[in-house]
Structure 1
Amino acid sequence: MVTALEVASGVLDPELPVLTLADLGVLRSVEEHAGGRVVVTITPTYTGCPALEEMRADLRRRLRAAGYADVEVRTELSPAWTTDWISPAGRRKLLAHGIAPPGPVGPRSGPVPLRLTPPVSRVPCPRCGSMRTTELSRFSATACKALRRCESCREPFEHVKEI
C-alpha cells in the first residue's frame, strides 16, 4: 500500500498545477493512525487563499481513493507560509513551465512587514535569462503572481512574488 505521505505529496496545487502541494511547501505534515485514519496539516500561501478548500477536497479525495477511510485536513497558520518553502524541485518546475520562481526572502521574526509600494526587484526571464524585465501588472492570474515582460526576447511571463 502506498503511504499517506506519498499520496498527499502527489496532490497538485489548484492554482499552480505544475507544482504539488509538497513542492509548494504547503504540505506541512501527514500522520497515519490506526484504523486507516490520516491527519494532514497544510499551511495556505495566505489566509485568504481561495484555493484552500480545493486543496482540502483534493487531499481527502486522493487519500480516500488510496484506501484511507478517515481523513482529516487541518490548517495551520503559524508560522506563516513563505516562498522560501518552495522546494528546489518546485522552483525548477516553475522555471521549466515559463514561470519565474521567487527569489529568497530569508529568515524573519515577528510580523510580516507591510509594503505600501511594490518592491523593486530584478527578475530574470525564465525563457532567455535576461535581467531586462519589466513588471506589467502586480497581479496576474492569481494574487501570488505578477505579470512581467522581457525587454530582450519581448515575451510575457508570470513571476511568483516573494512572500
Structure 2
Amino acid sequence: MRSRWWPRVLGAAAAFAGFEVLLTVIDADPDPVRLALLVAICTALLGLVLDALGGAEPSWRVDVERPSVRESGDPRLVRYVALIEAHLSARTAEHALRDRLALLTDQVLRQRHGLRRDDPAAEALLDPELLGVLSGPPRRLARAEIDRCLTAIEEL
C-alpha cells in the first residue's frame, strides 16, 4: 500500500515545483498554499481513479456451491436426472418418468426376486403408492412422490 503512494507523492512534489516555476516565470504571482492544495487534490483524485480502474479484469466465472450431476461422468445418472428435471418442469403429464420407474421396478423384481411386475407375488412386494403410480394414468408427480417411489424400489 505504501509503495504505491510514494511515486504519487514524489510526482505531486514535482508537479508543485513545476507549476510554481511556470507561474513565477509568467509572472502570475502564485499562492503556494493554494497551489499545494490543488496539486494534492488532483493527485489524490488521480490516485483513486487509477486504483479503481487498475487491477485484475472482472471475472465472469461463477463458483458453484453444489457440483453439477452432469459433471459426475456417469451418463446413466445424467439421463435419470434430466428425466426427472424434465418431468418436474413439464406443463402437462408425461409418461416417460412413469415408464422409467416401471422399468426400474421390473429390473429390481427380476434381479432380487425372480418375479415380473404382473405376477401376483410381486404385487404383495410393491408399495401401494408405487403400484398406483405404475398402474395408473400418467400424471405429474411431486418431488416427494418421486422420492418415495424411488425409495420403495430400492427397498424391494
Fold shared, TM-score > 0.5 on shorter chain = no
TM-score (norm 1): 0.21
Bigger proportion of residues as helix = 2
Structure (1 or 2) with the larger CA radius of gyration: 2
TM-score (norm 2): 0.22
Bigger proportion of residues as strand = 1
